[in-house]
Amino acid sequence: MTQTPKFALIKQHIIDNIQAAKWVENQRVPSENELAEQFSVSRMTARRALSELTEAGILTRSQGLGTFVASLKSQSSLLEIKNIADEVQARNGVYSCSVLSLESISAVAPIAIALGVEINSQVYRSVLVHNENEQPLQVEERFVNPALAIHYLQQDFNHITPHEYLSQVAPLTEARHTVEAIMPSNEVCQWLSLYNEEPCLQVIRRTWSSEGIVSFARLISPGSKYRLGGHLTFKRH
């Protein structure tokens, strides 16, 4: 009947008022009943507009008090960390991958701690080089908790990336990353075929599933060939 639903019109009205700075941070916005009367809709429809904007982080509500414009706080923005195979394909490159090592090793202290397993227990380790057009782009050294990915060593990582495989067998619930600029070790220089020393971007990623820590990975790329790109749009409407 109506081209755009009524609740969407009310949402837009609220967003407009906030963006025009007529309603400022922490200011009260009309109540469900007021909006219902103002727009000649039922309370449930007005409620839907307020609820969805609350879910989107634009408003905050509190029972008994009312609904308010949310504070923007420190406006921290987000950087997306994508699958490297997807990234290469997205720019029409040819992706390939070489498995340099795939083994079970005895976990030394820092690795055992990072994986939450006992020191000197067996863990899986893989070293892959991701290539774009046959040129090494990133080396991935990964330690995997064998309890959560029993068949890790049997995988063919030319067909499925370690991250994809692990997401299947142990659905991720949490991830932590750190990004640093480092000078590569000699070993990494060899893996990446770097003849001249150059700074590299290192991403360290630890992933959790509901069962515990799944894996711990170091992703190292030469600064001249790789950058992390991020893109974020704030308020959706």
Partner DNA sequence: CAAGCTTACTTGTATATACAAGATATCTGT
Partner DNA sequence: ACAGATATCTTGTATATACAAGTAAGCTTG
Q: Which residues bind DNA (CB under 7 A)?
A: 1-2, 5-8, 31-34, 40-45, 47, 50-51, 61-67
Binding partner of residue 186 among DNA, a second copy, none, CB under 5 to 8 Å per kind?
none
- Could you tell me how far CA 59 lies from the centroid of its own chain? 24
Q: Which helix (H) or strand (E) holds 10?
A: helix 6-19
Binding partner of residue 151 among DNA, a second copy, none, CB under 5 to 8 Å per kind?
none
Site for a second copy in 5-34 (CB under 8 A): 19
Q: Which helix (H) or strand (E) holds 187?
A: helix 186-191
Nearer residue to a second copy within complex by CB, 153 or 160: 160
Alpha carbon distance 46, 108 (integer Å): 59
Q: Does 89 bind a second copy (CB under 8 A)?
A: no
Nearer residue to a second copy within complex by CB, 107 or 220: 220
User: How far apart are CB 171 and DNA at their closest, in Å?
Assistant: 23
Q: How many residues bind a second copy (CB under 8 A)?
A: 47
Q: Does 187 bind a second copy (CB under 8 A)?
A: no
In our burial notation (b when 16+ CB lie closer than 10 A, e otherwise), range 165-189 reads bbeeebeeeeeeeeeeeeebeeebb
Which region, left, alpha or beta, applies to residue 120 given φ > 0 means left and ψ of -120 to 50 means alpha?
left
Instruction: Give the end-to-end CA distance of the chain in Å, rounded to a whole number.
Output: 21
Nearer residue to DNA within complex by CB, 32 or 141: 32
Instruction: Return the range that interacts with a second copy (CB under 8 A); candidates 116-124, 133-141, 149-157, 164-172.
Output: 164-172
If one counts every other C-beta atom within 10 angstroms of the C-beta of residue 159, the result is 9
User: How far apart are CB 44 and a second copy at their closest, in Å?
Assistant: 9
Strand ranges of the sheet holding 28-29, from the earlier edge strand across to the other edge: 28-29, 66-69, 59-62
Nearer residue to DNA within complex by CB, 25 or 118: 25
Alpha carbon distance 104, 123 (integer Å): 6
Q: Find the length of the chain.
A: 237
Among 2, 75, 92, 186, binds a second copy (CB under 8 A): 75
Binding partner of residue 199 among a second copy, DNA, none, CB under 5 to 8 Å per kind?
a second copy
Alpha carbon distance 109, 30 (integer Å): 58
Q: Does 178 bind a second copy (CB under 8 A)?
A: yes
For binding to a second copy (CB under 8 A), which residues are involved? Answer: 19, 55, 72, 74-83, 86, 163-164, 167, 171-183, 198-202, 210, 222-223, 227-235
